Amino acid sequence: MEKTVRAHTNIALIKYWGKADSGLRLPLMSSLSMTIDKFYTDTKISDSTENQFWLNGVKQNGPSSNRVFSFLKILQSKFAVTGKLKVESYNHVPTAAGLASSSSAFAALAGAFCVHYGINLSPVELSRLARLGSGSASRSIYGGFAIWQKGNDDESSYAYALDEKPDVDLQLLVVELNNRQKDLSSTQGMKQAQTSPFFMPWIARNQIELEQMINAIKANDFSTIGSLAELNACEMHAVNLTAQPGFTYFEPATIKAIKLVADLRRLGIECYFTIDAGPNIKILSQLKNVKDITNRFVSEFHNVNIINASFGPGISCLN
Ligand code: DP6
């Protein structure tokens, strides 16, 4: 029986947003993420007479299937293996919303590829492979906090665990404000962002904030972790707004949510936000404040869906 590989989504607290080499997916900056428990992808690969990709039980054609198979082709030639493959993936996200992430998808795919061909790799080697499918996937090999060191070639660019079982009271409230498919993929968005006059300062800031974030995590300092994550996300979105031409992932509801986080903080309910390549926000908070934050969001937004996530595990084989 073919084995299923499970990889969890990660959310970057210090973002990857810019490539030095788009073919190898080498980033211009190192990044740091939190792997979360609630969202994950299960993937199984078996032999087939034709290449086929099934997602949540539905056969896929077009861009998503092409991306999967161009990635698998790279891996097949790397390991000198051949054959047509059936890929079956299930994205476990609580709703049908646009919260599915390429981080769990490509980490699970890299893992399922190795299981299928009986290739035994260390976590670092697997992280390198996953990176070739999607940069953020390099970090989903690990649970807890992971760092993707940018490196300068295929060999040196991989993620490692900073702390797989952190003892920090850190909750991530994923607030689904809008479930529309995003117009601009991360791959396209970060390419466009490089035209911003603030792009070089962004890279420099990222390096400083990464070091500060590592120290804050080691010191178990929630306030610094949260405020640095928020600052870093705002800087990433500032380079988007100032790109030539400028763009944003924010929707009106995103701005309303940002202001609500600031309001809650003024009321003494400590929380911070981070935002990725889409309109939804993720709130960093401590357990004691989850209820108040959730109630406030539910009363301010119609039909808001909030998922209370925390640290998730690294990649694993299920059967
Ligand atoms: C905003 O990993 O999706 O989530 O390497 O082009 O597939 P590609 O990009 P992807 O970008 C993630 C961007 C981000 C920040 C992050 O996860 O670090």
- What pLDDT, on a 0 to 100 scale, did the predictor assign at position 183? 79
User: Is 5-166 a CATH 3.30.230.10 domain?
Assistant: yes
Give me 20's structure tokens: 């030095």
Determine if residue 261 is left, alpha or beta; phi over 0 gives left, psi from -120 to 50 gives alpha, anything else beta: alpha
Give me 290's structure tokens: 């989850």
- Residue 141 CB partners (closer than 8 Å, separation 6+): 7, 107, 123, 126, 127, 130, 159, 314, 315
- What pLDDT, on a 0 to 100 scale, did the predictor assign at position 319? 85
Strand partners, 6: 42, 316
303 pLDDT band, cuts 50/70/90, is confident
CA atoms within 13 A on the CB side of 277: 22
Residue nearest to atom 14 of ligand 1 (CA): 276
Tell me which fold the domain 171-309 belongs to: Alpha-Beta Plaits (3.30.70)
Mutate which of 14, 106, 127, 136 to test ligand 1's pocket (most atoms within 8 Å of Cβ)?
136
Measured in angstroms, how far is the CA atom of residue 167 from the centroid of ligand 1?
A: 26
For residues 89 and 46, the answer to whether their CB atoms sit within 8 Å is: no
For residues 292 and 248, the answer to whether their CB atoms sit within 8 Å is: no
- What pLDDT, on a 0 to 100 scale, did the predictor assign at position 222? 98
Output the average pLDDT for the chain. 95
**Protein residues with CB under 6 Å of any ligand 1 atom:** 12, 15-17, 25, 31, 102, 134-136, 186-187, 276-277
Atom of ligand 1 nearest to the CA of 236: 1
Question: What's the CA gap between 279 and 290, in Å, rounded?
Answer: 21
Give yes or no for residue 155 having a pLDDT over 60.
Answer: yes
Alpha-helix runs per DSSP H in the chain? 63-78, 102-117, 123-133, 186-193, 199-218, 222-241, 252-266, 290-300
- What pLDDT, on a 0 to 100 scale, did the predictor assign at position 179? 74
pLDDT per position as a tens digit, 87-107? 999 999 865 445 768 999 999
Q: Where are the domains of the chain?
A: 5-166, 171-309
- Average pLDDT in the 183-208 region? 96
- Average pLDDT in the 246-266 region? 97
- What pLDDT, on a 0 to 100 scale, did the predictor assign at position 96? 47
| Global pTM value | 0.97
| Domain 5-166 and domain 171-309 have a common topology | no
Atom of ligand 1 nearest to the CA of 131: 5
